[in-house]
Structure 1
């Protein structure tokens, strides 16, 4: 994987935060910290896309039915009994 050098500008507060993360031992240098932030942002976006897709599928699955708590509890108890 090739590496690309980037130049970024941070506020004093942001720079101090990055330094504190490195000094605390969480990261070896600025680049490791920035790469970690990017990975976390990518993962968050992927999870959001999955959630949005699930919502679309749920909305297009048809009309909802009334929730029957009693039936849910009965089914759960049967599953517990069967696992014993």
Structure 2
């Protein structure tokens, strides 16, 4: 495993040590790794969301009535609930 040294203000160091003392993390390194994993997950979700937005924008404007579409979605949900 690679090592990395970081500098933290005293307040952040204290915060990390408090989180470890609460018992959820075995060390400050464990806490920082968890934060980085969560940040990575968030960035990946954000990228997927942005890709879906881009795809939607690129698809153009629909001629369908939005209320008709909403009725179809509601009917599908009712069918799924009944199954």
Q: TM-score range by the shorter chain?
A: 0.7 to 0.9
Structure 1 stretches of 4+ moved >2 Å: 71-82
1:39 aligned residue: 37
Partners of 1:55 and 1:35 in 2: CA distance = 30
Corresponding residue for residue 66 of structure 2: 67
Any unmatched runs of 5+ in structure 1?
Answer: none
The equivalences for 1:3-82 within 5 A come to 3-65=1-63, 66-68=65-67, 72-73=70-71, 76-77=74-75, 80=78
TM-score scaled to structure 2, two decimals? 0.80
* Ranges in structure 2 where 5+ consecutive residues have no aligned partner: none
Give 1 or 2: higher helix fraction. Answer: 2
**TM-score between both structures, scaled by the size of structure 1:** 0.79
Q: How far is the alpha carbon of 1:78 from its aligned partner? A: 7.0
Separation (CA, whole Å) in 2 of partners of 1:44 and 1:18: 20
Q: Deviations over 1:24-81 (max 9, x none)?
A: 0110001100100110111011001100100011001121344216x63476257536
